[in-house]
Each structure stands twice: as structure tokens, then as C-alpha cells.
Structure 1
Amino acid sequence: MPRNARRSTPVIKDVAKLAGVSAATVSRYLNGTANVNEEKSERIAQAIKLLGYKPSIVARALANREMDSVMVFATDSGSFSTNMTNVGVERGAQSKSYLFGVTTLSEHRLGDVRQMVQMALGANPAGVIVYEYDRAGAEALRYIPDDMPLVIVGGNVGEGAYQVINSEREGGRAMTEYLLGLGHRTVYHVARSEGPSDNTRTNGWRDALTEAGAPVPEILHVSATDLEESVEVGRVLGRRSDVTAVFAGNDETAIAVINGLREEGRRVPEDVSVAGFEDRQFAPMWKPALTSYRQNFIEMGERAFAMLYEQIQARRAGERPPQSRLETVQGRMVVRDSACAPR
């Protein structure tokens, strides 16, 4: 074969010809915008396989007047929860041959949120997912058009027509109840910044103490980025003989607090029990292995995309939107060696 002779890339008309259907039928099959009977669907699928046809995302965008893509609006893109949720959204997007993008917002630049949202929507995504973990996420929701397919991740229960939340508050309650159940009089809480939602692990901590009639200590707030603050809080708690149990806002904070306690000569768990949250990969490797609460952020992302995709398909088919719903992704407590009954 001459060097300049190339096999042409198959196009939708080639698929239609081989399958014995119209190009419009192939387009409807690919976009899922109308039902194609089973016999034709099988012929189209076989033709696509034989030809090695790959739909053009640009051509589909022209047909649909929007890209086969989803845009995520998130703050703190480097955090564990955001990263893992993104993994779930991307997995869902890839399963439907959709592109996936992230627009990072800033809590410290709320005045820029509107411009960032409008710029991202200028790419004509088929739908958007907003992580409402903080004020920037809540601000972004103000600028999403009413007719845009939308899923909210996080936020207050019932805040959006389509919403996925995790068991933050339930998890905080479970961890605190577990420590109280071991016999501790109360549980101190070292908290990182949380969003405007009432579905927080701190609220769960407070719920458990209040319902048990236990003292509710002052919350010890620490930076999300400076773990030395958490170490110092551990030192402060270590100097108090009445402190026997600590619930930390996440696993990194828990380990930093343990280091501070040890610097004051307090043993974990013999003198002070410590529990974390999120159950990171390093939690079972720490000494002692860290008791924590496992959340499935990847599942949250997958569910969010699935919920969004249903809206997109209904919109393209000219059908009524799916029924509004709220889905909660449950977590579970993982008991290890860092907590025990008080001496």
C-alpha cells in the first residue's frame, strides 16, 4: 500500500449502510434520545463493532447543542473528599463516553464565583454537579440556570431537587456514641472547618452528647492545612487529667493530636482514647491503629453522575424530568486499637 494511502475513518453513514438503517436512526441509538427497537439496535451495535466506529463528540455536540460533558464545581480540589468524589464522577462519565471537567472555586474569593461559573457554562456542558461543602458551593448555585440539569453533592437535606449526601452527621454521632459506650464521661472534639450545612460530623458529636446527658465541652477548632495546630491542641488536652476521649474531625487531625498527647506523656489508648474520621489508607498502619469512620466518596460521585445523566437523557428526549430525589451514601465505623475503656 502506498504511504499516502490511508484507510478512511468510518462515519455514521457507514454504520447506517452496514446496519441497513438510516443515519438518523443510528444517531438516535447513539444519543439515547428515542427508542430504537431491539432488532435494529443489535444490527447497529454489530456494525459499530465491525467498523470500529467511534462517535465524534463534536458532531454529537452540534446535534445536541451541548457537549457530552459534565462540569463539577468544587472548592479545595486537593482535599481527600473532593478528590475521591471526583474519581466517582469521572468513572460514571467515562462509562457513558462523557468528558469530565472541574472548575475550582475559592472560599476566599466569593466575588469571583459568578465569573467562574459563567466561564465554565460557556463550554456548554450537558449538566453540572456542585459540591456544596462550603459558602463557595452555595454561591455557585445562584448562577446555575433553572433549566440546566443539576445535582448537588452535600448541602442541607432537601436543598436541591436532585441531591446526594453522605452520612456526616450520622457518622459523628456514631463515633461519639461509641466512645461514650466504652465508659468515657464525655468526648472532646477537635474540629476542622465545615460547610454551612447542618449535616456535619460536629453536629453529630453534639447530638450524641446531648442525648446521653453528657457534658458538651468547648469545640477545639484547628486549621485544615496546618497540622501543627492539631499537635498543639493535643499538647493542651494532654495537660488536662479530665480528658479521656477525643473525637477528631479527620484522620490527619487525629494522628496530630495523638502526637501532641504523647509529647505530654499521655498514652493512647490507655490514658486517652482517640478516634478519627474518613478512614484514610494510613489509618490501620498507624500505631495504635486508628479507629475511624469510613465514608464512600467514590460512590457519592458515581451516584451523582447517574442522577445527572438521567436528567440529561430526559431533556434530550423531550421527556419529563425524573422524579426529584435525595440519596444518602451510608458510611460505617471501623473499630481498631486507638480507643478503649477509661482506666
Structure 2
Amino acid sequence: MAQGTTGATTRSGKQRGTPVIKDVARLAGVSVPTVSRYLNGTARVSDDKRERIAQAIELLGYKPSFVARALANKVMDSVMMLTSLSGYWATTQVSGGVEHGARDKGFLYGVTSLDGVDADEVNNIVSRVLSANPAGVIVNESDEIAIQAMRQIPKDMPMVLIGGSRGDAPYQVIPSERAGGRQVTEHLLGLGHQSVVHVHRAEGPNNNTRTMGWRDAMAAAGIVATEAYQVGPDLNESVELGRRLAASDTITAIFAGNDETAISLIKGLHEGGRKVPEDISVAGYNDQIFAPLWEPALTSYSQNFVELGQEAFDMLYAQIEAKRAGDEMPTPECRVVEGRLVVRDSTAAPRAKA
């Protein structure tokens, strides 16, 4: 490719401030449709032409028009996520991971909340999302409404499900929820506690929940898993439960299904005259930023929700690329994003009885 001035010029020889696709084609010695195919990934372009086009783009400082590409593709360079529990910390972390992946590929990213949507409204919500012509859709499963929304996505639309039971969708990314719940419970039992009380919020309709992991560990230890309490998002409810549990002489360990519930329980236990971990060990889940700063520092299971979102976008992008190139779709798969137990000061061996 001939090297020279880096600015695009008009026929009159005047310098033009913003290069357009015709300038790239002229400098690279290819047609405008070839440049368009290179930018959109809609068909294969030879390695020689790809290199020349890439050099021309860099030399000119060309920035493709998002709208023009969308018109050429008949879909937007964008992805949408449908999710319930949109205000939850875990959901925002997952969303951030999807957004980072989308940004790296030059895609716009939007979130549509299903919070407060009833079954009759789901179809309208999904129709509005699809009317924006996204290149693909991610569904973050947390309840039956999200599952219903997923079922409305056309079969030819690239789609990835985050969460759910393994096999709920051809392309799926799931966190190690059940394995994590089991690991936390095993940690407490391994310290010498004879049983573990579980406190949790409502969980999604799937077989990969933290509560199931708690039951798995208890069953493996030969303990009947009967002491489970469901609480709502109002943390005062968990504080009150902590006060009630403090009155028990037999409880020595609690596994809370998330960190907010854990610290609320600790507050209630303290108000009930019990010390953590001297009297009762408490472990949380999610390992939020405040977990190591709490008093005592909170033992918690660290689940990489950002990676979960990034993996979901990568899986979606592979489908988008295959569809645009006319290739076969990637092999369906279910990826598991593993977490890890972080042991801190809130859990310890039970106090020896006098």
C-alpha cells in the first residue's frame, strides 16, 4: 500500500476532516462492499484484503458509523439483557461483565428489567426488546418470569441463558451456586459444628441453588437438614431472626445465603447477647466489598459474577459471528464459573462445653 498523506481528500483536492468508507476502499484498493463485509463480518474477506483494509483504517483514522453498519446488517451492533432482581448486587456485577465484553467488541449494551412484570406482560416486554433489532439476547434467570421471557426469544436469535438448571438452554453459563453452598457448609461442619442452620432468600426455580448445596453437605454428613429459614430483602427481618436464634442453646453455626443477611444476623445475635464466632459462627455468600471490613471479618464464598457476565457475552458473540458469516452455530455448551471460599474471622471451632 502506498504511503502518503493520512487525510482523506475530495475530488477537488481539498482536505476532508472525517474519512468515510469510500476513502478506506480507495486507499486499500478494494470495493466499498468489500470494506463493508470486513467491518460487519457478514462474509469472508481474503487475508490480503483484510490486511490492506486494516492498514487503510488505521492510516485514515476511520471510525465506522454504528447506524450505517446496523442498516447494512439489518440488526444493530448491540445486545440486550433481560433480567429480574435488577437492583441486586449480584445482578449489577453480572451486568458489568456483559458490558465490558460488549464494549471490547464495539457493541452497545442495554438492560431491560423484568421486576414487577406479570406473566401477561412478558410477551410485550420481549417484543419491545426484539423491535430494537439486537444482534443477540442474554437472559439472566432468577425467577419464572425470566424463564417465560427466554421462551419467547425466536430460535434463530443468538441467545445465552445465565443461571437456571443445567440444560435449560442450548447456550448457558451458570455460577457454582450449589457447589458453593456445599463448600461453605462443609467448612462449618469441618470446624466441628454438629449442625448448620441455613438462612436464605427466595431462590430461582432451578437445581443449582445454595440451599441445595447446604442440603447436600448435611446429607453427606448424616445430618437431617431441617433448620432453614427464608427471609426477605428487608434486612431488619434478618436482624430480628438473629435475636431469636440467639436464644437457642444448641445453635453454633449459621450459613447465610448472602453477605447482607449474614451481617444482619450478626447484629441480631449481638443484640441477643451472643458473640461471633465465640458463641456462634456465621458465614456469608458473595464476598462483597465490605466482607473483610466487617467486625468480625466475614467468612464468605466469593463468586465471580463479573466473569459470569463476560463468559455469557463471549458465548453470545460467537453465535453472532457465526450467524453473520453464514457458518454453523457453535456447539451448544454449559459453562460453569467457579468460585472460592474465603475464610475469615467470623467462623471458628465451637466453644468447648464446660
Interval containing the TM-score (normalised by the shorter chain)? over 0.9
> Paired residue for 1:277?
285
Trace 1:127-142 onto structure 2 (pairs within 5 A): 127-142=136-151
1:301 equivalent in alignment to 2:299: no
One-letter identity of the residue aligned with 2:336: T
1:183 equivalent in alignment to 2:192: yes
> Paired residue for 2:5?
none
Query: Runs of 4+ in structure 1 displaced over 3 angstroms?
Result: 5-8
**C-alpha displacement of 1:81:** 1.0
**C-alpha displacement of 1:6:** 8.8
1:199 equivalent in alignment to 2:208: yes
Query: 2:86·2:115 contact (CA, 8 Å) conserved in 1?
Result: no
1:46 corresponds, among 55, 63, 84, to 55
> Paired residue for 1:334?
342
- Structure 1 gap segments, 5+ residues each: none
RMSD over aligned Cα atoms: 1.3
Q: Distance in 1 between matches of 2:332 and 2:162?
A: 14
1:93 equivalent in alignment to 2:102: yes
Worse-superposed segment, 28-37 or 235-244: 28-37
SS in 2 for 1:110: coil
**C-alpha displacement of 1:202:** 0.5
2:297 corresponds, among 289, 308, 318, to 289
1:230 corresponds, among 227, 232, 238, to 238
1:212 equivalent in alignment to 2:221: yes
> Paired residue for 1:164?
173
**C-alpha displacement of 1:29:** 1.4
User: Could you report, residue by residue, the CA deviation over 1:135-157 in whole angstroms, capped at 9, with x for unpaired residues?
Assistant: 12111012111111110000110
1:118 corresponds, among 127, 136, 140, to 127
Worse-superposed segment, 322-331 or 18-27: 18-27
Label 1:309 to 1:108 Cα distance change in 2 as closer, same or farther (>3 A): closer
1:267 equivalent in alignment to 2:282: no
SS in 2 for 1:101: strand
**C-alpha displacement of 1:193:** 1.1
**C-alpha displacement of 1:75:** 0.8
Q: Distance in 1 between matches of 2:40 and 2:204?
A: 38
2:256 corresponds, among 227, 238, 248, to 248
TM-score (norm 2): 0.93
Q: Distance in 2 between matches of 1:126 and 1:106?
A: 24
- Structure 2 gap segments, 5+ residues each: 1-13
> Paired residue for 2:38?
29
Q: Distance in 2 between matches of 1:277 and 1:94?
A: 29
Query: 1:171·1:201 contact (CA, 8 Å) conserved in 2?
Result: yes
SS in 2 for 1:326: strand
SS in 2 for 1:175: helix
> Paired residue for 1:65?
74
The percent identity for this pair of structures is: 59
Query: 1:107·1:136 contact (CA, 8 Å) conserved in 2?
Result: no
Query: 2:82·2:111 contact (CA, 8 Å) conserved in 1?
Result: yes
2:152 corresponds, among 134, 143, 164, to 143
**C-alpha displacement of 1:275:** 0.1
> Paired residue for 1:109?
118
Worse-superposed segment, 268-277 or 79-88: 79-88
SS in 1 for 2:121: helix
**C-alpha displacement of 1:110:** 2.8
Query: 1:107·1:134 contact (CA, 8 Å) conserved in 2?
Result: no
User: Could you report, residue by residue, the CA deviation over 1:149-197 in whole angstroms, capped at 9, with x for unpaired residues?
Assistant: 1100001101110000000000000000000000001000011111101
| Aligned residues between the structures | 338
Q: Distance in 1 between matches of 2:114 and 2:254?
A: 32
**C-alpha displacement of 1:22:** 1.3
SS in 1 for 2:207: coil
SS in 2 for 1:276: strand
> Paired residue for 1:312?
320
One-letter identity of the residue aligned with 1:111: D
**C-alpha displacement of 1:240:** 0.2
TM-score (norm 1): 0.96
Worse-superposed segment, 332-341 or 8-17: 8-17
**C-alpha displacement of 1:107:** 5.1
**C-alpha displacement of 1:24:** 1.6
